[in-house]
Amino acid sequence: MHLLKWLYPGLNFKRWMLLFSAGVMLVSLGLALFFNYKYLDLIEEHIFRAVYLWQGSYDYWITTVVGLVMLVLGLGIMLFATRFVIRSVITAVLPDNSENLVDIIYERRRLERGPNVTVIGGGHGLSVLLRGIKEATRNVTAIVTVADDGGSSGRLREELGIIPPGDLRNCLVALADTEPLMEKLFQYRFENGSELKGHSFGNLFIAAMSEVTGDMETALQESSKVLAVKGRVLPASTEYLRLDAIMEDGTLVEGESHIPEAGKRIKRVRLFPERPAPVHSALEALEEADAIILGPGSLYTSIMPNLLVDGVAETLRKSKAIKIYICNVMTQPGETDGYTASMHAKAILDHAGRGTIDCMIVNDADIEEDMLEEYAREGAYPVAVDEDAINALGIGCVKADIINVSDLVRHDPAKLRKIVMQVIYALGPGIGINDYYDISKQIKRAKR
């Protein structure tokens, strides 16, 4: 059965096996012509004698049957030998995965045919989405915020003058196809020592790679090779940025980590310096995408900073890709207190302009009462889904169970992947906005 896996569609193996077989047949025919059929006559004569001695007579169709048996046997031997030739080569390169070679090739081919997806955001929410999306397509690019100024990332940013590596590290690990030990290593946080305490190994690795290569974008590319990343991780900008918030009472809060601490309703956020230069590869990823996904993640501190980088919002609006916003499940204290789903979407439109969102995915799964009470003590509540208000913004609404409730209410990677891919395949790029009002029915038809 394992041998038959090589005949799976999409492996690009059967066509080359057929070409190899044709070559063998041409070589055989060439040898026959070269020796003037001398050896073919000899073989046929031996077959004739063997059959005659066995049953005392000879029918000419027996030669055809013997030829067919030899053909099938020859093809089987060729397939068997080719498999072991490939396996011998792969064993030298990937000794641990040689037994699963056909599965690896099949999975890689399947993912390479997936849609071109670009995701925008930062924080834990983005890494959760990436863990799911990488199982549906290899053509994924994460554009990550670089306005973080807290924790290990903030310290490295101040000490080394680099863009904060924390969210970039999380995205690399989320897209990685590597051993669990490597993931644990990159996420390991030092607990002892005055200088290293609080730093994660992955942050230090990326910082060191940036020093070695002289460029953060190149550092991320090289780090991706170490982790066998399925896709790309790009910073929205490589400039030293600060995220500021203008509150509704007119006060200004400087620094991403201080915004939630202010305890005031946010009117608008901005970057300093304003309109920083984008990473060119990030703009190209937006232009080439079949689908662009915003979030999930902190509305003002994870998603917005990317949209404020020069050219990002404009490229996003002009893109013909389907643009999907994944709304947070719970409000975020100090950032989105009292926000409904439509208020999340409107905030994005106010900062990035109309045409930034085509479709919005919201959670409609119930959350247990004891969990809600626990969140309420922290000042967080479920985001109310006001579908009519969402539609009034010119945005389609898809309601689905997208959460995994354990100790915390989190988005579920597999559930997110399922609904996101259903939306992409049901609608795709270039769909008129009126079509989104009937989006749920289209997705149901796509399932059938």
Within this chain, do residues 304 and 389 fall inside the same structural domain, yes or no?
yes
Tokens of 140: 């994924």
Q: Which DSSP category does 91 fall into?
A: H
DSSP letters spanning 121-150: E-HHHHHHHHHHHTTT-S-EEEEE-----S
The pLDDT assigned to 90 comes to 64
User: Is 319:349 a contact under the CB 8 Å cutoff?
Assistant: no
Within this chain, do residues 10 and 140 fall inside the same structural domain, yes or no?
no
Within this chain, do residues 11 and 128 fall inside the same structural domain, yes or no?
no
- Cα-Cα end-to-end distance for the chain: 30
CA atoms within 13 A on the CB side of 290: 16
Within this chain, do residues 89 and 141 fall inside the same structural domain, yes or no?
no
What is this structure's pTM? 0.77
Residue type, 262: A
Within this chain, do residues 284 and 385 fall inside the same structural domain, yes or no?
yes
Within this chain, do residues 7 and 141 fall inside the same structural domain, yes or no?
no
Within this chain, do residues 369 and 436 fall inside the same structural domain, yes or no?
yes
Within this chain, do residues 407 and 268 fall inside the same structural domain, yes or no?
yes
Q: Which DSSP category does 194 fall into?
A: T
- Domain final residue pick, 83, 110, 137: 110
Within this chain, do residues 253 and 288 fall inside the same structural domain, yes or no?
yes
E strand map for 305-448:
322-326, 359-363, 396-400, 403-405, 409-411
Within this chain, do residues 41 and 125 fall inside the same structural domain, yes or no?
no
Q: Would residue 173 count as lying in a domain?
A: no
Q: Would residue 241 count as lying in a domain?
A: yes
The pLDDT assigned to 209 comes to 93
| H/E element, 119 | strand 117-121
User: Is 238:218 a contact under the CB 8 Å cutoff?
Assistant: no
SS3 396: strand
Q: For residue 382, how far is the Cα from the chain centroid?
A: 27
Short-list 132, 126, 118, CA closest to 412: 132
What CATH number corresponds to the domain at position 360? 3.40.50.10680
The pLDDT assigned to 332 comes to 94
- Cα radius of gyration rounded to whole Å, the chain: 29
- Neighbouring residues of 99: CB distance < 8 A, sequence distance ≥ 6: none
Per-residue pLDDT of the chain (448 residues; tens, 9 = 90+): 455 555 555 555 666 667 777 777 777 767 666 665 555 666 666 666 666 566 655 565 666 676 677 777 777 777 777 767 666 666 665 555 545 655 555 556 666 778 999 999 998 899 999 999 998 898 999 999 999 887 788 788 888 888 999 899 999 999 988 767 778 888 888 887 667 888 889 999 999 999 999 889 999 999 998 888 889 999 999 998 999 999 999 999 999 989 999 989 999 999 999 989 999 999 999 999 999 999 899 999 999 999 999 999 999 999 999 999 999 999 999 999 999 999 999 999 999 999 999 999 999 999 989 899 999 999 999 999 999 999 999 999 999 999 987 768 889 999 999 999 999 988 765 444 444 445 544 444 444 4
Residue type, 389: A
Question: How many domains is the chain partitioned into structurally?
Answer: 2
Structural domain harbouring 244? 114-145+236-447
Going from the C-alpha of 125 to that of each of 129, 174, 207, 330, 403, the distances in angstroms are 6, 11, 23, 12, 12
